[in-house]
Amino acid sequence: MLVLGIESSCDETAVALLESCADSPQPRVLSSVISTQIPLHRMYGGVIPELASRNHSTNLPVVLREALEQAGRSVHEVDVFASTAGPGLVAALLVGNTAAKALALAAGKPFVAVNHLEGHMLSPFITRAGGLVPHLSLVVSGGHTLLVDVQGVSDYTLLGRSVDDAAGEAFDKVAKMLDLPYPGGPEIDKRAEQGDPARFSFPRPMLHEDHLNFSFSGLKTAVLYTLPRLTASGNPHDLPEQTLCDICAGVRQAIIDVLIHKTLKALRRTGHKVLAVSGGVSCNAALRTQLMECCRRAGVEAVLPPNSLTTDNAAMIAYAGMLRAQHGDFSPLDTPVDPNLKLAGMQTRA
């Protein structure tokens, strides 16, 4: 089965072609092309939906052609067209979604509307030789921080989530406060490498509470109160470079400590021996190293996608589309996009 996936929910225009293999549960990624709009939105300090949408519509045909060329396939060979239907920016979603539907209609092939979150969640298994198995999923993206018990496609139980800011959002908001460029995660990460994580002790909320929820909004406030104590002006540009790096290291470690603590608790509770980590924050090298070390000690297999599959990409959309198509789960062409799309099959554990 040859699947073409399109992702356009935020500021990346992406197209990928994945082919299922007869003798392996692992698909072949024939191409995964991403055109990022980050430099464009950086000057505004965040994503401007109207600009994102306009740029998707000019970038998509180019990205589509390149993905087909790299895969060495023609659009007539595609068996299934998949695209992100939400959550995301509605005007941005519409571009990729309408293109995928139009291609499916013209080619007379089925269409699958994919939940962006499900794409992230399942993405670690694209590169796992044994394919998808029941596991604990930690999703850490710009919009979501979730712990999910995954038994299979559409068999999800939500164990915990952030009650306020997502982990990526916390990185981005603290970075904004420090007047670092958008997106903040990689900027904080870069400076944290030169910093001392022990110099500032930032809060680790809900760490010792019994539930598996997260809260990251207190970090912003902690940094906000720390700044005036360090410079009379409160202006982050007046901070010595080392102090800035120490703040970044402290913030990064506070986020990592909470993520790891709750993840280990969820692993103990569910008994899962496989942990999959996904979403943009999972390309944070310190988080990856520390998580892998904890998993090694706990005898748990850590499944982490390569960095190219952690931030928004279309391979994850094609993969989720492929798994759904293999279950005969296609979507009618009048399926709407939904900026707040809920994950089908997600139960909440009481």
3-class secondary-structure state, position 164: coil
Task: Dump the DSSP string for 188-206.
Answer: HHHHHTTS-TTSS----TT
Among ligand KG4, Zn ion, none, the one that 183 touches (CB under a kind-dependent 5 to 8 A) is ligand KG4
Choice between 136 and 317, CB closer to Zn ion = 317
Tell me how far apart the alpha carbons of residues 325 and 327 are, in angstroms, rounded to a whole number.
5
Choice between 47 and 136, CB closer to Zn ion = 47
Q: Which amino acid is at 21?
A: C
Among Zn ion, ligand KG4, none, the one that 11 touches (CB under a kind-dependent 5 to 8 A) is none
CB of 8 to Zn ion, least distance (A): 11
CA dihedral 245, 246, 251, 252 (to 10 degrees): 60
Q: Does residue 312 touch Zn ion according to CB under 5 A?
A: yes
Query: Cis omega before residue 87 (within 30°)?
Result: yes
CB of 316 to Zn ion, least distance (A): 8
Listed residue (24, 21, 25, 23) closest to 2, CA to CA: 21
Among Zn ion, ligand KG4, none, the one that 236 touches (CB under a kind-dependent 5 to 8 A) is none
Choice between 250 and 280, CB closer to Zn ion = 280
Number of other residues whose CB lies within 10 A of the CB of residue 301: 15
What tokens does 269 get?
């509770």
CA dihedral 64, 11, 346, 274 (to 10 degrees): 80
Q: Does residue 141 touch Zn ion according to CB under 5 A?
A: yes
CB of 120 to ligand KG4, least distance (A): 6
Choice between 32 and 141, CB closer to Zn ion = 141
CB of 243 to ligand KG4, least distance (A): 20
Among Zn ion, ligand KG4, none, the one that 185 touches (CB under a kind-dependent 5 to 8 A) is ligand KG4
CB of 304 to Zn ion, least distance (A): 16
